[in-house]
Structure 1
Amino acid sequence: MMDVAAIIQTTNDFLVAEFEANPAELTPDADMKATLELDSLDYIDLVVAVEAHFGFKVKPEDFQHIITFQHFYDYVAARARQLV
Structure 2
Amino acid sequence: MASRDELYQKLTEYLVELFEIEPGKITPDAKLFEELDLDSIDAVDLVVKLQEYTGRRVKPEEFKAVRTVGDVVDCLERLLKTHDLPA
* Map of 1:6 onto structure 2: 6
Question: Residues of 2 paired with 1:81 and 1:30: CA distance?
Answer: 24
Aligned-pair CA distance for 1:61: 2.0
**Counterparts of 2:56 and 2:36, CA distance in 1:** 22
Question: What residue is the counterpart of 1:52 in the other structure?
Answer: 52
More helix by share: 1
Q: Percent identity?
A: 33
For structure 2, which runs of at least 5 residues remain unmatched after alignment?
none
Q: Report the structure number with the largest CA radius of gyration.
A: 2
Unaligned runs of 5+ in 1: none
* TM superposition score normalised by structure 1: 0.88
Structure 1 runs, 4 residues or longer, greater than 2 Å off: none
Provide TM-score, normalisation by structure 2.
Answer: 0.85
Aligned partners of 1:19 and 1:36 also within 8 Å: no
**Equivalence for 2:15:** 15
Q: Secondary structure at the match of 1:35?
A: coil
Offset of 1:18 from its aligned partner? 1.2
RMSD: 1.3
